[in-house]
């Protein structure tokens, strides 16, 4: 049911409402219901008595080989109409990196660098790193049998290829987190494209709304240690309202962390630890980036630390002033203390964060406290502070003309599960279900014609983004606060796609809010037109014309054709993974196997039909005998 509420401006609650009671056990640590938990990545790889493969299970928490989480979502069934596939999820995603000779599919097989760099970078041995993936970039085949010989590595170990790099990256309380996380050693992280993985819980560097152009007031939040802070409340960590550390902290404020068994990320483990805010940020390893790795750093002349810290200012230099490129906006150390954070955590994104704990949609101001930023006025106190003697200053801080964008509009949805991860090219998927929270919310929008806020009920759509950045927007067939059903069109080409829940887009009144992404894979299919599979009876040779036969560059074949004479040099059958079978018997000889044509001999004569097997598909084809 649609729920309408009077326009609510989160900051205004600070000045005009009466403070409610705090929870029996208020944060810290903050409830871990949205996005990544407030933990350090290497903490997830520590051993405990109940788990022998902690790190691999951590990877599978998000990168699951199964289609759905059967524990938390037992009712999320695979949609009908998806054919049985040969590939499984994680191997399939990796195999699609091999150059398929299809424009736009996974960068045409280009190696991006970072953790996507394969262990074998010079397959052809020419002394130059390869630019494209081949099978042998990852698979080292024993020379006993080049087609069926054993593989020398355990390819179920994610860390064979996805490395983390040693080296100290800080000297503070979090010292010892001496490596860069695998997620932050990616091209996306090098370019500070944070929201591509985190969703719009945060923005990519300097792509959100710029910092405000008015001076900070008594209600301006600080990261920690706010001057003239609100001391009317003290958390268990010894911190006060008006600071991020009031909620984003360990329970006692110590670097030892706080055990938490309630987060979704505890699934499969005994618990995770929630740490101090500075530990969470420093332990990403971002401070170890160099301008060689990061085009953003190279272009800006900054150091990685300056992405968050304006290093030319000291805490004691309260009179220092920074003038923005517009020549007008100025800031002091007091304002930069929080506004440095706003390079990624801009005000609109902070005011769009709320967890739908009850699963019935979000009504800003009327949700359970300590599960977001705008669901309860207790949350407002935590960020902005509250002291009755400061109310006049708070009112003054609101007297700015551009307060509109800070009203609660669409909130950021949280995507937890989808009911299909892999399907075949050319297949429409009806009943594609996305499960999570916060898919619907009440809010307001600014009506330019009326010059005032009007109520707005925000409903979701679904966005698919391919490897080249092309976006397909799909309207929901049906939606609830926790479920969305859409139909995936059969026209999408093969490749990997990021799937996200989208809210607040109609082109006229609201910014877009995107959830965290989940990845789906559309497999290339074998396509053979009617009559394009023939058998030359005199030669007992089957010729099949079509596409989708190979996942390697179209110039590479299992049968080598001389470009001058047209003579084809036979090679051995690839393996049971790929090949051609006639009436249940393997082809006697394989002359040619490339995208576009297969030529094979059957000594027993022309079969009645053949089965073409590729890495991703299998097609049974009747033959026309010539």
Task: Detail the DSSP E strand segments found in 72-185.
Answer: 165-166, 179-180
Which DSSP string corresponds to 471-525? EEEEE-SEE-SSEEEEEE-TTPPSEEEEEEEEES-SSSS---EE---EEEEEE--
Residue-level pLDDT at 23: 35
**Stretch 370-393: mean pLDDT:** 75
Domains of the chain, by residue range, sit at: 414-523, 533-625
Could you tell me the pLDDT band of residue 329, with boundaries at 50, 70 and 90? low
* Residue 58 or 374, more confident: 374
Cα(552)–Cα(148) distance, integer angstroms: 18
Cα(551)–Cα(101) distance, integer angstroms: 8
Of the given ranges (342-346, 570-574, 586-590), which has the lowest mean pLDDT?
570-574
* Residue 521 or 315, more confident: 521
The structure tokens 């299909």 sit at 420
Buried b (16+ CB within 10 A) or exposed e, 391-410: eeebeebbeeeeeeebbbbb
Give 146's contacts (C-beta < 8 A, 6+ positions apart): 572
Cα(343)–Cα(470) distance, integer angstroms: 26
Cα(194)–Cα(202) distance, integer angstroms: 7
Is a pLDDT exceeding 70 seen at residue 165?
A: no
The overall average pLDDT reported for the chain is 75
* Contact of 493 with 468, CB cutoff 8 Å: no
Residues 190-203: tens digit of each pLDDT? 889 999 999 999 99
Residue-level pLDDT at 103: 46
Residue-level pLDDT at 81: 63
Residue-level pLDDT at 118: 77
Q: Computed over its alpha carbons, how large is the radius of gyration of the chain?
A: 28
* Contact of 437 with 416, CB cutoff 8 Å: yes
Could you tell me the pLDDT band of residue 148, with boundaries at 50, 70 and 90? very low
**Stretch 451-461: mean pLDDT:** 87
Q: Give how far Cα 499 sits from Cα of 1, 72, 196, 477, Å.
A: 26, 20, 11, 16
**Stretch 547-556: mean pLDDT:** 53
Q: Sheet containing 624-625: give its strands across.
A: 589-594, 597-601, 541-545, 533-536, 624-625
Distance of CA 187 to the CA centre of its chain: 13
Evaluate whether the domain defined by 414-523 bears CATH number 2.60.40.10.
Answer: yes
Spatial CA neighbour of 208 closest among 383, 400, 342, 9: 342
Phi/psi for 353 (5° steps) reads -100, 120
* Contact of 414 with 435, CB cutoff 8 Å: no
Of the given ranges (279-288, 358-367, 401-410, 451-460), which has the lowest mean pLDDT?
401-410
Percent of the chain surpassing pLDDT 90: 23
Residue 126 backbone zone (phi > 0: left; psi -120 to 50: alpha; other: beta): alpha
**Stretch 598-609: mean pLDDT:** 92
**Stretch 553-557: mean pLDDT:** 36
Residue-level pLDDT at 176: 39
Could you tell me the pLDDT band of residue 592, with boundaries at 50, 70 and 90? confident
Residue-level pLDDT at 36: 85
Is a pLDDT exceeding 80 seen at residue 353?
A: yes
Cα(494)–Cα(380) distance, integer angstroms: 46
* 175 upstream amide cis, omega within 30 of 0: no
Cα(624)–Cα(531) distance, integer angstroms: 7
Cα(45)–Cα(31) distance, integer angstroms: 22
**Stretch 138-156: mean pLDDT:** 54
Could you tell me the pLDDT band of residue 306, with boundaries at 50, 70 and 90? confident
Query: Terminus-to-terminus CA distance in the chain, angstroms?
Result: 66
* Residue 466 or 315, more confident: 466
Could you tell me the pLDDT band of residue 22, with boundaries at 50, 70 and 90? very low
Of the given ranges (144-158, 433-447, 514-528), which has the lowest mean pLDDT?
144-158
Is a pLDDT exceeding 90 seen at residue 586?
A: no
Could you tell me the pLDDT band of residue 395, with boundaries at 50, 70 and 90? very low
Is a pLDDT exceeding 80 seen at residue 141?
A: no
Could you tell me the pLDDT band of residue 25, with boundaries at 50, 70 and 90? low
Could you tell me the pLDDT band of residue 544, with boundaries at 50, 70 and 90? very high
Could you tell me the pLDDT band of residue 70, with boundaries at 50, 70 and 90? low
Does this model's pTM top 0.85? My answer is no
Residue-level pLDDT at 377: 82
Residue-level pLDDT at 525: 84
Sign of CA dihedral 56, 61, 64, 66: positive
Is a pLDDT exceeding 60 seen at residue 393?
A: no
Residue-level pLDDT at 573: 39
Is a pLDDT exceeding 80 seen at residue 273?
A: yes
Instruction: For residue 440, count other CB atoms closer than 10 A to its CB.
Output: 24
Helix (H) / strand (E) containing 418:
strand 414-418
**Stretch 115-140: mean pLDDT:** 77
Cα(526)–Cα(369) distance, integer angstroms: 54
**Stretch 200-213: mean pLDDT:** 84
Is a pLDDT exceeding 80 seen at residue 240?
A: yes
* Contact of 203 with 307, CB cutoff 8 Å: no
* Residue 520 or 398, more confident: 520
């Amino acid at each position: 049911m649609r729920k309408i509420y009077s326009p609510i401006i989160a900051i205004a609650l600070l000045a005009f409402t009466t403070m409610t009671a705090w929870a029996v056990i208020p944060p810290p640590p903050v409830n871990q219901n949205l996005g990544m938990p407030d933990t350090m990545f290497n903490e997830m790889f520590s051993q405990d008595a109940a788990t022998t493969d902690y790190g691999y299970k951590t990877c599978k928490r998000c990168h699951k080989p199964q289609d759905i989480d059967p524990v938390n979502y037992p009712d999320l069934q695979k949609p009908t109409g998806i054919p049985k596939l040969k590939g499984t999820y994680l191997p399939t995603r990796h195999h699609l990196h091999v150059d398929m000779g299809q424009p736009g599919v996974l960068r045409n097989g280009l190696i991006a660098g970072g953790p996507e760099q394969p262990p074998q970078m010079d397959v052809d041995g020419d002394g130059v790193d390869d630019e494209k993936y081949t099978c042998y970039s990852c698979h080292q085949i024993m020379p006993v049998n080049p087609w069926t010989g054993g593989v020398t590595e355990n390819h179920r170990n994610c860390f064979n290829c996805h490395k983390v790099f040693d080296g100290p990256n800080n000297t503070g309380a979090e010292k010892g987190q001496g490596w860069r996380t695998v997620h932050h050693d990616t091209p996306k992280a090098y370019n500070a494209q944070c929201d591509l993985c985190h969703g719009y819980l945060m923005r990519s560097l300097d792509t959100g709304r710029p910092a405000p152009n008015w001076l900070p007031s008594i209600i301006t939040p600080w990261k920690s240690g706010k001057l003239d802070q609100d001391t009317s409340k003290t958390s268990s960590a010894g911190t006060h309202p008006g600071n991020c550390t009031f909620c984003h902290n360990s329970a006692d404020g110590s670097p030892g962390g706080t055990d938490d068994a309630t987060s979704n990320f505890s699934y499969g483990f005994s618990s995770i630890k929630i740490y101090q805010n500075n530990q969470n940020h420093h332990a990403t390893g971002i401070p170890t980036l160099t301008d060689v790795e990061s085009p953003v750093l190279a272009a800006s002349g900054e150091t990685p630390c300056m992405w968050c810290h304006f290093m030319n200012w000291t805490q004691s230099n309260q009179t220092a002033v920074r003038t923005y490129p517009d020549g007008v906006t100025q800031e002091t150390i007091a304002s930069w203390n929080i506004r440095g954070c706003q390079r990624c955590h801009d005000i609109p994104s902070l005011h769009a964060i709320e967890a739908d704990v009850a699963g019935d949609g979000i009504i800003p101001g009327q949700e359970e406290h300590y599960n977001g930023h705008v669901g309860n006025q207790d949350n407002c106190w935590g960020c902005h502070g509250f002291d009755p003697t400061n109310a006049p200053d708070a009112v003054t801080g609101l007297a700015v003309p551009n307060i509109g964008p800070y009203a609660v509009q669409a909130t950021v949805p949280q995507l937890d599960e989808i009911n299909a991860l892999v399907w075949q090219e050319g297949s429409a998927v009806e009943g594609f279900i996305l499960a999570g929270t916060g898919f619907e919310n009440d809010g307001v929008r600014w009506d330019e014609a009326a010059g005032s806020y009007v109520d707005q009920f925000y409903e979701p759509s679904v966005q698919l983004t391919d490897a080249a950045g092309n976006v397909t927007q799909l309207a929901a067939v049906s939606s609830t606060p926790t479920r969305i059903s859409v139909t995936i069109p059969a026209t999408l080409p093969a490749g990997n796609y990021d799937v996200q829940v989208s809210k607040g887009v109609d082109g006229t009144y609201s910014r877009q809010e995107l959830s965290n992404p989940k990845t789906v894979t559309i497999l290339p299919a074998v396509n053979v037109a009617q009559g394009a599979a023939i058998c030359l009876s005199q030669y007992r040779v089957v010729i099949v014309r079509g596409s989708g036969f190979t996942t390697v560059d179209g110039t590479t074949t299992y049968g080598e054709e001389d470009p001058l004479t047209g003579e084809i040099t036979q090679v051995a059958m690839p393996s049971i993974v790929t090949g051609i079978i006639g009436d249940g018997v393997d082809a006697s000889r394989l002359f040619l196997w490339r995208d576009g044509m297969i030529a094979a001999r059957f000594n027993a004569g022309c079969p009645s039909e053949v089965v073409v097997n590729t890495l991703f598909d299998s097609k049974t084809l009747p033959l026309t005998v010539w």
